[in-house]
Amino acid sequence: MLGDLITTALREHGDRLAVADSRTTYTYRELEQLSSYTARELATRLPADAGRLRVGLRAGNSAAYVVLYLGLLRAGCVPFLLDKATGPQETLDIADDCGLDLLVHEAGAGTPPGTESRGAVRGLSLSAFTRTEGAAERPELHETTEVCRFTSGSTGRPNCIEFSGHAVHRAAVNWVDGTGLTGEDRIVCFASLSNGLAFNTSLLAAFLPGAQLHLGHGLPTSGKVVRGLDQSEATRLVGFPALFESLVRRGTGLGGFQHLRMAISSAAPLSPEVKARFTELTGVPVQNYYGAAEAGPLTFATDPLTDPGLGQPLPGVSLRAGTGAGQEDVVEVRSESMGTRYLNVAGLLESRTTADGYYRTSDLGYLDGGSLVLTGRTSQVINVGGRKIDAVEVAEALRGAEGVEDAVVLEVTDRHGGAALGAVLAGDSSLDLAVPRRHVAGRLAAHKVPTMLRVVPQIPRGSSGKPSMAELRGMFEPIKEKA
């Protein structure tokens, strides 16, 4: 279904520019042809009776990524969008957990052990997984599933969300309609295409009305962002808070903003100071995107400068929350872009969904004139720079390091006033902190390696046996500095 819908959209816009990275530019016609060739090329590398092959796509933003994504859909494969930072062992664990057949990845970049090369497609490597001995039985895909994405769980492994083609398509259609995206728009996207922010605002949404999608790759430093905006004459900028913080640090002399009319930040709270300063420097208000990995994009503020919250529900979205300040409640959402279930955790998504189809998020908030105002969270999700991190997964990895007897992982405030990943380790005071850091770096993605470590003889615990979080947080005394 998605393959057909995308093909129709691509054919509609002919020779308009569709997608560009720093080296490559494709028109809609070229993108349609290349994704079709890629689908055929993939078919020659796959067993004839393969059915819906599960293909991990783990790469940075590029025009080739988009071609591969579309090619996989057109070949009838199910793309599993993995964070580029996912380490080799993590990738292997996910492959076992979700029954992946193949991996598309950048050449030489963290090839998982035990995989077999199947050559390269559009400059990206193709590797085949073999089932690890003793791995759990391969879970069945839901019959409607066309795309899978991941969200950090709280049980030591990422949860894999299954999406129907209809849900993915409606997420894009509703974003286009709700935000007024047109064929005249030029989107510069620095968020990773595997992340919900880019997936929902850019990857398919850009192609429906015939907009241009310019992909930023790597670290969104201010110098690079300004160049990207200048070259593309962008009308929309999509990025994580770190991008906006970087631009604000650059201060005066920000060029490239002449055509920009919308800046979209998400995945972690953007400080009000940075938001205000960005608008002061550029004249462009920052739109705080609100979405849930399990439910797609949810709100949009027509005027972010006057909206009391994160905006009104997008088309096809219903929200339930508290009725006003001081009466906040759990935010519940129902949308046309809901995930079907978690492939690798049977029953969990269903247990978080009400009888009338609302997904219970981890956010607390209320509605002010229909606009959603967030006030807190119901769970201690760690969010560092827009990446959610499962404390259990990192603590388990730390406990495997030599000299570490126990570990608790928590979000702490660094000396710049931002969120950072901290860990308190139980061990001897002579413990070389490089050892646990190296141990985690060898197993998990780089952003899951704690940057602030403390060593204690024993983890302080309360009478219930749970770690005393207040005491643990007290071990990280931030000396705040301005961004």
Binding flag, residue 321, another protein (CB under 8 A): no
Binding flag, residue 132, another protein (CB under 8 A): no
**Cβ of residue 175: shortest distance to another protein, in angstroms?**
27
Residue 220 near residue 243 (C-beta atoms within 8 A) = yes
**Cβ of residue 478: shortest distance to another protein, in angstroms?**
10
CB atoms within 10 A of CB 80: 28
Whole-angstrom CA distances from 128 to 75, 115, 198, 247, 420 are 17, 5, 27, 41, 35
**198-257: which residues touch another protein (CB under 8 A)?**
217-224, 227, 242, 245-246, 249-251
Using DSSP, state whether 378 is helix, strand or coil. coil
Task: Report the alpha-carbon distance of residue 46 to residue 51 in Å, rounded.
Answer: 10
Candidate residues 446, 458, 464, 482; the one interacting with another protein per rule CB under 8 A? 446
Residue 124 near residue 64 (C-beta atoms within 8 A) = yes
Residue 286 near residue 244 (C-beta atoms within 8 A) = yes
Binding flag, residue 383, another protein (CB under 8 A): no
Binding flag, residue 469, another protein (CB under 8 A): no
Task: Report the alpha-carbon distance of residue 256 to residue 373 in Å, rounded.
Answer: 32
Name which of 441 and 469 has its Cβ closer to another protein: 441
Binding flag, residue 388, another protein (CB under 8 A): no
Task: Report the alpha-carbon distance of residue 332 to residue 363 in Å, rounded.
Answer: 9
Task: Report the alpha-carbon distance of residue 360 to residue 215 in Å, rounded.
Answer: 33
Binding flag, residue 441, another protein (CB under 8 A): yes
**Cβ of residue 31: shortest distance to another protein, in angstroms?**
23
What is the total count of residues that contact another protein (CB under 8 A)? 33
Residue 64 near residue 121 (C-beta atoms within 8 A) = no
Binding flag, residue 427, another protein (CB under 8 A): no
**Cβ of residue 418: shortest distance to another protein, in angstroms?**
7
Q: How does 293-309 read in b/e, with b if 16+ C-beta sit within 10 Å?
A: bbbbbbbbbeebeebeb
Binding flag, residue 437, another protein (CB under 8 A): yes
- The first and second tokens of residue 278, run together, are 């960005």
Binding flag, residue 109, another protein (CB under 8 A): no
Name which of 269 and 385 has its Cβ closer to another protein: 385
**Cβ of residue 243: shortest distance to another protein, in angstroms?**
8
**154-183: which residues touch another protein (CB under 8 A)?**
none
Name which of 447 and 461 has its Cβ closer to another protein: 447
Task: Report the alpha-carbon distance of residue 315 to residue 27 in Å, rounded.
Answer: 29
Binding flag, residue 456, another protein (CB under 8 A): no
Candidate residues 210, 418, 427, 467; the one interacting with another protein per rule CB under 8 A? 418
Identify the burial level of 326 via C-beta atoms within 10 angstroms of its C-beta, where 0-12 means exposed, 13-18 middle and 19 or more buried.
exposed
Task: Report the alpha-carbon distance of residue 37 to residue 337 in Å, rounded.
Answer: 29
**Cβ of residue 223: shortest distance to another protein, in angstroms?**
5
Task: Report the alpha-carbon distance of residue 76 to residue 478 in Å, rounded.
Answer: 51
**Cβ of residue 238: shortest distance to another protein, in angstroms?**
17
For residue 426, the surrounding DSSP H or E stretch is strand 419-426
Name which of 11 and 249 has its Cβ closer to another protein: 249
Binding flag, residue 268, another protein (CB under 8 A): no
**Cβ of residue 73: shortest distance to another protein, in angstroms?**
27
Binding flag, residue 452, another protein (CB under 8 A): yes
Instruction: Pick the piece of the chain touching another protein (CB under 8 A) from 171-179, 206-214, 315-323, 409-417.
Output: 409-417
Binding site for another protein (CB under 8 A): 22, 217-224, 227, 242, 245-246, 249-251, 384-385, 414-416, 418, 420, 434, 437, 441, 446-447, 449-453
